[in-house]
Structure 1
Amino acid sequence: MAVATPMADTLIARGFGDADDGAGFRGAEFLLVVLAVVHLALLVSALHALANDWLTGWQRVALFLGVGMWLGQVSNSFAHELIHRGKRGLFRLGAAVYVSLLFGHHVSAHRLVHHVHVATDSDPNSARLGESFWRFFPRAWLGAFRAGLVAERKRADRTGRINPYVIWIGGAGLCLTLVLVLFGVRAMVDYLALCAYAQMQLMLSDYVQHYGLRRRCADGRTEPIGPRHSWDAPHPLSSLAMVNAPRHSDHHLNPARVYPALRLGPDDRPMLPYSLPVMGALAMVPPVWRRVMDRRVARMMAVEERQAATVLH
């Protein structure tokens, strides 16, 4: 599947069309709930298998990589969708998925920092032009943790509510303790490795989807978020597997829009040359990544400059 999906995406030039205006999406939220249940069952089952001696070395590696890819690409995508839903139960379910990946702070940092400051230097998760993924990963992880904590402290001071970082950190500690008690030390090490692998894939998505794009600043004011501040990917199969997460610019323009309704829009938006999973693989090899992407960033920024000049005149 890891090979077949990108190959099929490459063969199909453009994904499915945009949904009709006003179309209903019965079952969309139910699917997210089902995926969350599958996530928790898969994670527990994988840890149980890895904790025992049923598998050969190669089988352990295959299980680890397969489950890790699901956690990083599918679980992240539907959990991201859940934390943007207005219903409290759905939001909490998405937060629980992130906590189970030891990544609870992402719930705060994504909504309160990334969506506010995307495509600016104030957003740790908006990669800079020329920055390799291996430099971006630790900088963005720590930066998002700190920025999310600052944002939540301000909100807690304003509202008097508990800072959710207590839940994010406490929940991570509880998950680690449960794995240790139920499955032992080896499973806890495997759990930490699976979570790190999943988090790396999430950060790869952020790196790819915002690499090099910046909002203009004038007179101390930053321009509003627009369709040219995220990289989209029109490839259909990976979009299905990732609940339309590759239609990223529309998500930033309309964060509350349900995933089946996300739109690709016109072709003048920044478009990735390959599907999101393929671009993530390229990003892990910085010279190849820069050869593919830097000229595309320059082209998009030149378009932005020409449009700005036209407005001024």
Structure 2
Amino acid sequence: MAFIIPASVIVGYYLAGWWNMLSLALVFLIIPFLDYMIGTSDYNIPKDRISIISEQFFYRFVTYLWTYFQLLFLAWAFYVVTFGHLSSVQEWIGFTLGTGLVTGGIGITVAHELGHKKSALERLYSKILLLTVCYMHFYIEHNKGHHVTVATPEDPATSRKNESFYAFWFRSVFHGYAHAWKIENNRLRRKGVSALSIHNEMIWFSILPLIFIAVVTGIFSIWANHFVWQLPVFFFVQSFIAFTLLEQVNYIEHYGIERKEIAPGKYERVTPIHSWNASHVISNFFLFQLQRHSDHHANAIKRYQVLYHYDESPQLPAGYSTMIILALVPGLWFHLMNPRLESWQLKSERVQQ
């Protein structure tokens, strides 16, 4: 079902005009409506079937296929920007936002899934996908930073109670990038390797997207017989949209959740109660079960197809498509989420007592 979103971008472009907004209507109107109508499912794969279904190649194949598909989709988008017919402001806006929905809403979701796996091939695919949205440091920060410090004051990607998404965005983006440098530098220092060396992944992660778009721009400029300045602008704007979507999801997944400090600088173990969960059927189909985020943080190595729903986890009132829109309006977000957060915290404290 994830492939329906890029299909809507492609169809919208060829229908032209306001049809370029088709992907936005799909993600922010149709999917929320279907989520509301169909609702949630608390079905979990039987425990004796987890190992079998985890190893079924089909589920991995879909993520592998997406990596190649996204590269082809971006190549098509670059062709459209260079030779296509985007003649009005709304066409440019719709097409660029739609591209960001594909590379961010789905692409980063797949990169997130693959980046947690032990396979070198899957990790390579994760890095390739993150390269296309200028967010390669996420590979380090998310796996070695966020999953270690989640739901603590040390984590830039954990949103605080009464913190607006806009304040969170600046902290998560800039502090997360700086923290990735710190993690990588510490890794090299432990190995006795200089941080200023070809072995520093953060150096590569910072320059590879620039090399990528420079090569792409060069190829298309030669093809078009003139410098296509629109390509780097388009690439960086769709990247901004893509990683902003990621940060919106981070904001939603961890809003106000805190782990107890059991000793100075030491916190209780991460469990399914330390992330917001959403088991809405339709949006989870599009997002590779990402919304079952509580189980993912408790068991990061689990593949998406076997993630569990936990009743004791804090539950979001709607899927991510709806919550993303609500997060853009701080007053509405606080009005909706603060009572749920406080109610869940009281319930959690009673259970622990």
1:307 positional shift: 3.5
Equivalent residue number for residue 82 of structure 1: 114
TM-score by length of 2: 0.84
Provide the residue aligned with 1:43 in structure 2: 74
- The aligned amino acid for 1:217 is E
Describe the superposition over 1:215-248 as per-residue Cα deviations: whole angstroms up to 9, x where unpaired. 0113323111111110011111111111111000
Shift of 1:268: 2.4
What is the RMSD of the two structures over their aligned residues, measured on CA atoms? Answer: 1.5
* Structure 1 segments unaligned to the other structure (5+ residues): none
SS, match of residue 218 in structure 1: strand
Describe the SS at the equivalent of 1:282: helix
**How far, CA to CA, are the matches of 2:213 and 2:59 in structure 1?**
31
* Offset from partner CA, 1:255-289 (integer Å, 9 cap, x none): 11111011112x22111001111101100111111
- 2:296 counterpart letter in structure 1: H
Structure 2 contact 104–133 (Cα < 8 Å) conserved? no
Question: Which residue is equivalent to 2:269?
Answer: 224
**20-29 or 167-176: which moved more?**
20-29
Specify the code of the residue in structure 1 equivalent to 2:46.
D
User: Equivalences for 1:54-203 in 2 at 5 Å?
Assistant: 54-57=85-88, 58-159=90-191, 162-183=199-220, 184-203=228-247
Amino acid at match of 1:182: I
Listed one character per residue, the Cα deviations across residues 100-120 of structure 1 (whole Å, up to 9, x for unaligned) are 110000000000110000000
Q: Partners of 2:336 and 2:216 in 1: how far apart?
A: 42
Which structure 2 segments of 5+ residues have no match?
1-25, 194-198, 221-227
Amino acid at match of 1:114: H
Q: Is the deviation greater in 157-166 or in 67-76?
A: 157-166
Deviations 1:55-79 (A, max 9, x none): 3323333222222111121111111
Structure 1 residue 16 displacement after superposition: 6.4
Please say if 1:280 is aligned against 2:324: yes
1:236 has 2:281 as partner: yes
Please point out which of 294, 308, 312 is paired with 1:249: 294
Q: Distance in 2 between matches of 1:304 and 1:14?
A: 22
Deviation, structure 1 residue 160: 5.0
Change (3 A) 1:123 1:274: same
In the superposition, relative to structure 1, how do residues 219 and 85 fare at CA in structure 2: closer, same or farther (>3 Å)? closer
Contact 1:104 1:168 survives alignment (8 Å): yes
Cα distance change, pair 42–214 in 1 and its aligned pair in 2 (3 A): same
Contact 1:125-1:206 within 8 A present in 2 as well:
yes
Q: What amino acid maps onto 1:177 in structure 2? A: A
Deviation at 1:212, TM superposition (A): 0.3
Q: Which residue of 1 aligns with 2:347?
A: 303
Q: Is the 8 A contact 1:205 1:280 kept in 2?
A: yes
Counterpart residue identity of residue 10, structure 1 = Y
Q: Distance in 1 between matches of 2:46 and 2:152?
A: 32
The percent identity for this pair of structures is: 26
Task: Normalising by structure 1, report the TM-score.
Answer: 0.94
1:15, distance to aligned residue in structure 2 (A) = 2.9
Comparing 149-158 and 202-211, the one that deviates more: 149-158
**Contact map agreement 2:38 2:282 (CA 8 A) in 1:** no
Kindly tell me the number of residue pairs found equivalent between the two proteins: 308
* The one of 17, 42, 45 aligned to 1:19: 45
